[in-house]
Structures are given as structure tokens and as C-alpha cells.
Structure 1
Amino acid sequence: MSRPLRLYLAGPEVFRPDAAAEGERLAALCREAGAEGLFPLHADGVDIRQACIDMIEEADALVANISPFRGIHMDPGTAFEVGYAEARGKPVFLWSDDLRSLVERVPAGADGRDREGNLVEDGDRPENLMIVDGRRVWRTPEEAIAEAITALAFTMKNRELQRMARSYVMLALAVSLFVALAAGFLVNRLVGW
């Protein structure tokens, strides 16, 4: 039997005072859905960046909380993890507890610019287009986890079928080798008479 789908749980939850409990809650949501949640909570003295990268490498997909954190945008560490996962070809599933678009969150004048004169993205997205363009952003982690499992079910089934096919090929090879050796032995016995 194959291992469960592994989901890296990215987000600012690691900064919460109850980080371990929240990580366990998110991992439990994954278990209930039939997946393994990888929550990046580390002890002091660990190279946290490398440990997170290693966990993303182990994961089949990334589920990221892109809710505003310490301002109007998502946690920058989570943004890095989303980008890293994408660069590695990992599917990314997003959720946010604030689905308002950036133009709704950032006060802008009639010209679409904020107080400093910078253009506010008006793409009806809850985060910068480099993060969310072309992706649905779910309201809860449960919804994002369920979507990840549904979207990757075919991939996991295909992986299991490939594993089984390799096993059958190896078995067929072993049987063929045995039959060939047995036939050779039989021919040698018959010719040797």
C-alpha cells in the first residue's frame, strides 16, 4: 500500500503563541482527510530555512495560509515557500480568512494609487497576482486541504499503479528467467543423452 499524500502546511501559524497546538490541529485536518500534514515548527538551533525547504521537498503539495499577517499582505516567509514549491513543480493550494481584494483593503484614490502614490493592484484578488493568479483561494484550511486531496487523487492513484506495474514486470522477469533456465537445463539433459 502506498503512503498517504503529504501536504506541507505553510503559513504564519508558526508565530502564534499556540503554534504547536495549531500545527497539530492542521495536521489532524489532514489526517481526517486521508493525508499527512507536514507542519514546519522547529526547535531553536535548527536551520529553519533549510528544514522548511527539506519538508517542502518531501511534500506532494503545499497548502498555504495567505491571510494578511502584520499588515495587508501575507507572511513573507509563506510567500517564499509558495514560490519555492512552484519552482519545484509542487501543486499549491491557498486559503485566507480575508478574501477581500487588495483594492478593498488598501485605501486608494480615484486614480487607483495609495497615499504614497503607488498603484494598488485592482485584479479582484486577495493577494498579489504573483501568488494567486489563476488559483482559487479557499476560505478555510479544510477547503484547501480537501481540494488538494481531490486534485492529487489521480496522481497518487497513478503512482500506485506505476509501483504495481513495476512489481509485475519484475515478477514476469523472474518467471521468464526461471523458465529459460529450466528449458536450458532440459535441453542439455535431452541433448546430452
Structure 2
Amino acid sequence: MPPMLRLYLAGPEVFRPDAAQEGARLQALCAAAGAQGLFPLHAEGVDIRQACLDMIDAADAMVANITPFRGTHMDPGTAFEMGYAEARGKPVFLWSADPRPLLERHPPLADGRDGEGHLVEDWGKPENLMIVPDGRTVWSSPEEAIAAAMAALDFAVRNHDLQRRTRRSVAIAVAVSLAAALLAGSLADWLIGW
């Protein structure tokens, strides 16, 4: 039986007044999908940054909440964690409770620029294109993002398990062949010596 997949649950939920309950809810969603949810709620006195990085390293993938937090954009800590996960080769699955494109959430005043004269991205995405590159889906709920992660990772796990079983079968076949060859050689020596 393949090991249970581990999903790091990134997002601003850790700042909620009911963070522990929300973390338990997200972990229960992962458990219902057949995964272990790693929720980064840490006690005081812990090196939170390092503890989060360690959890990401231990995870098979990340499910990240990119819902706007304290403004137009997502939580910056979650953005950092996503970059770290991607640099470590971990797949990242996104969800947002606000799927509106940035242009709708932060309408430009004139010439596509905001009140400070900066361009407002017009890529039709709910977040900066470095967060949501072309081809990446932003799901509307954690349930959908978890299901997408499980579907994508299930194939990889099954493939890895098949490779492991195939290697074991080949090793057994080689051992049996070697034993048969040694036995045949011993039998031939005995017959010749007779």
C-alpha cells in the first residue's frame, strides 16, 4: 500500500481567531480525500519560519489559499511559501474565495493605471501572473484544490509503486535464475565426477 500523501496547507488561516479550528477543518478535508494535511500552526517560541520550511520539505505538494488578505493581493507569507515549494520541486495547487481578476478587484483610474500611476495587471487572473502562470487553475474552494492535488499525485504515487514492485520482481527473478544456474552447475560437476 502506498504511503499517505502529505499536503502542506498554505494560507492566511493561521491569522484567524479560530485558526486551530480552521486548521482542523482543512486537515479533515485532506483526510477525507486520503491525504495528511500539514497545517502550519506553531506554538510561541518555535522558529516559525524554519518549522514551515521543514513542513514544506516533508510534504508531497502544497495547497495554497490565495484569497486576498489585508488588501488586493494574497498573503505575502503564502507567496513566499509557494516560491519555496516550487523551488523544491513541489507541485502547488491554488484556491481563492475571490476569483475575480485583479483588474476587477483593483480597477484602474485611467490608462490602465491606479491612483499612484502604476499599471494594474490585465491578464484576467485573480493574482499576479508569477503566482498564477498560464495553465494553472485557481480553484474556488480548498476541497477542489485538494481533489486536484490528489488526482495529480495519485498517478505519480501509483507509477512510483509500480516501479518499486517491478524492481523487486526483477531482483527476485535474477536471484532465482542465479540459484538455478548454480544448482545446474553443481549438478553437472557431480555428474561429470561420477
- TMscore range, shorter length: over 0.9
Query: What is aligned with 2:52?
Result: 52
Query: Aligned Cα RMSD in Å?
Result: 1.5
1:167 match: secondary structure = helix
Query: What is aligned with 1:19?
Result: 19
Query: What is aligned with 1:76?
Result: 76
Structure 2 counterparts to residues 111-122 of structure 1, below 5 A: 111-122=111-122
Displacement of 1:148: 1.2
Query: One-letter code of the match for 1:149?
Result: M
2:9 match: secondary structure = strand
Runs of 4+ in 1 over 4 A off after TM superposition: none
Length-normalised TM-score, structure 2: 0.92
Cα distance in structure 2, aligned partners of 1:162 and 1:63: 27
Cα distance in structure 1, aligned partners of 2:151 and 2:110: 42
Report Cα offsets for 1:18-65 as digits up to 9, x if no partner: 222211111110111122211122222322222222222222211100
Structure 2 counterparts to residues 141-156 of structure 1, below 5 A: 141-156=142-157
Query: What is aligned with 1:167?
Result: 168
Give the number of aligned pairs: 193
Query: What is aligned with 2:30?
Result: 30
Cα distance in structure 2, aligned partners of 1:185 and 1:41: 65
Q: Is the 8 A contact 2:2 2:158 kept in 1?
A: no
Cα distance in structure 2, aligned partners of 1:176 and 1:49: 53
Displacement of 1:107: 3.7
Bigger shift: 18-27 or 47-56? 47-56
Query: What is aligned with 2:64?
Result: 64
Query: One-letter code of the match for 2:186?
Result: F
Gapped regions of structure 2 (runs ≥ 5): none
Report Cα offsets for 1:81-119 as digits up to 9, x if no partner: 111121222211100111111111114212111111111
Report Cα offsets for 1:116-173 as digits up to 9, x if no partner: 1111111111111100122111110001111111222221210110111121122112
Gapped regions of structure 1 (runs ≥ 5): none
Query: One-letter code of the match for 1:31?
Result: A
Displacement of 1:70: 1.4
Cα distance in structure 2, aligned partners of 1:192 and 1:40: 73
| Identity score, percent | 70
Distance 1:48 1:192, change over 3 A: farther
Query: One-letter code of the match for 1:106?
Result: H
Cα distance in structure 1, aligned partners of 2:166 and 2:142: 35
Displacement of 1:66: 0.3
2:156 match: secondary structure = helix
